[in-house]
Structure 1
Amino acid sequence: MSLTTEVPAGEASAAGIPDAREPYGLFEAWFAEATAGEPNDPNAMCLSTATPEGRPSSRMVLLKGRDERGFVFYTNEESRKGGELFANPQAALLFHWKSLRRQVRVEGRVERVTEAESDAYFASRARGSRLAAAASDQSRPLPSRAVFEARIRELDATCPGDAIVRPPHWGGFRVIPAAMEFWQDMPFRMHDRLVFERDEEGWRTTRLYP
């Protein structure tokens, strides 16, 4: 990760959202505060995808990488979200940090991360998480929980140590921001909203009415 933080942590919560030239430093400042203050999964984000016909679906996933290139998460590529991302490579993310009364929205196109990135992240996961990923036909019908657990036990017995390799249909996606909106709760619902939109020269910013 190589983001330059231009906004001191805590400044935004005291007096609304400060002006900034680009969104990544502001995101890093807010993410640092969320990491320190949110009781559960500060890296949780709502991922929204859509079919080519525009039928949307949303679910919670975990942010596993971030830099100026975008925001990365990993999944079974044969899942519903994987299928929708291949068919319509656009997505929206929402970070909601309730205890800090903040949220960040991200919208942009999606690309697959490299095989090397997926391999490295998969190898970093706990053994149980790798077994579950390899055993799961994510989003498809499951006859019973016992069937899934039996598949995990079989893999556990046949793949000792670190022999669990990343399934070819499991990998990462990167959401490349075209727009990011920062929202800060303020008294009397006079909330502060700051939008960054990418253009040919970098980023342009706009304040929005709450």
Structure 2
Amino acid sequence: MNDLTDIRREYTQGGLRRNDLPENPMDLFTQWIEQAKQAELTDPTAMCVATVDEHGQPFQRIVLLKKFDDDGFVFFTNLESRKAIHLAQNAKTSLLFPWHPLERQVAVTGEAEPLSMMEVTKYFMSRPKDSQIAAWVSKQSSKISARQALEGKFNEMKNKFAKGEVPLPKFWGGYRIKPESIEFWQGGERRLHDRFVYQKNPSGWNIDRLAP
């Protein structure tokens, strides 16, 4: 057995206090993601998305956050992917933003809502052309024989769309995760971490401190 019990460090970058918290969690999220960008973290918009299949088996994967506001957190994907199939059966999901160098993480629970065609088209047309072509090439989550098959399909589609715009694939779209809870975690010394959770209610948000 590989024993990893001696790997540990102190969290010393600062605490989080109730008086520091705005009434709207998205204001604090905005502040934290801006600080993650300013710190030049690798992929500061990367988030883990969790879904559950029809047997209750959880799955997780990293995707990139592309937009957020008071209505929720937006990402784009292949609508025939495993995650999309899961969300069609069970819209409940969770997100995790792991900003380890800042000793922070944000955990979100909520429900996934499909984006409108207008939102999807607007974002798709803003992507680099190679990324647009890649959306056509990959039947996400399906088994493939070899990478060469993927490369060959990419070159085929690149030639096909060489002289014009790349159309939006009918199987490509996105989701808005409408939050029901947002938890902010800040590492603390002696493992006395600071955790605050915002819970959605009809008139706004309840805020509670959680034990570390």
> Do Structure 1 and Structure 2 share a fold, with TM-score over 0.5?
yes
User: Which position in structure 1 is the counterpart of 2:181?
Assistant: 179
* Structure 2 counterparts to residues 149-160 of structure 1, below 5 A: 149-160=151-162
* Structure 2 counterparts to residues 163-202 of structure 1, below 5 A: 163-202=165-204
Tell me which of 19, 25, 28 is aligned to 1:26: 28
TM-score by length of 1: 0.91
User: Which position in structure 2 is the counterpart of 1:110?
Assistant: 112
TM-score by length of 2: 0.90
How far 1:160 moved relative to its partner?
A: 2.1
How far 1:162 moved relative to its partner?
A: 4.6
- 1:151 partner letter: K
CA contact (8 A) 1:38 1:97 kept: no
Verify: 1:47 aligned to 2:49, yes or no: yes
User: Which position in structure 2 is the counterpart of 1:85?
Assistant: 87
Structure 2 gaps, min length 5: 1-12
Question: Which structure has the higher relative contact order (CA within 8 Å, separation 6+)?
Answer: 2
Q: Secondary structure at the match of 2:23?
A: coil
CA distance in 2, matches of 1:162, 1:57: 38
Could you report, residue by residue, the CA deviation over 1:166-205 in whole angstroms, capped at 9, with x for unpaired residues? 1111011010000000000011111000000001111101
User: Which position in structure 1 is the counterpart of 2:73?
Assistant: 71
Give the alignment's Cα RMSD to 1 decimal: 1.2
- Worse-superposed segment, 101-110 or 51-60: 51-60
User: Which position in structure 2 is the counterpart of 1:94?
Assistant: 96
- Worse-superposed segment, 25-34 or 143-152: 143-152
CA separation of 1:55/1:128 partners in 2, compared to 1, >3 Å: closer, same or farther? Answer: same
How far 1:165 moved relative to its partner?
A: 1.0
CA contact (8 A) 1:38 1:99 kept: no
Could you report, residue by residue, the CA deviation over 1:33-56 in whole angstroms, capped at 9, with x for unpaired residues? 001114310000000001243211
Structure 1 gaps, min length 5: 1-12
* Structure 2 counterparts to residues 138-153 of structure 1, below 5 A: 138-153=140-155
CA contact (8 A) 1:180 1:197 kept: yes
CA contact (8 A) 1:135 1:152 kept: yes
CA contact (8 A) 1:111 1:173 kept: yes
How far 1:133 moved relative to its partner?
A: 0.9
User: Which position in structure 2 is the counterpart of 1:16?
Assistant: 16
CA contact (8 A) 2:183 2:198 kept: yes
How far 1:31 moved relative to its partner?
A: 0.5
CA separation of 1:161/1:23 partners in 2, compared to 1, >3 Å: closer, same or farther? Answer: farther
CA distance in 2, matches of 1:100, 1:181: 16
Write out the 4+ residue segments of structure 1 that deviate beyond 6 Å after TM superposition.
none
- 2:183 partner letter: E
- 1:125 partner letter: R
User: Which position in structure 2 is the counterpart of 1:208?
Assistant: 210
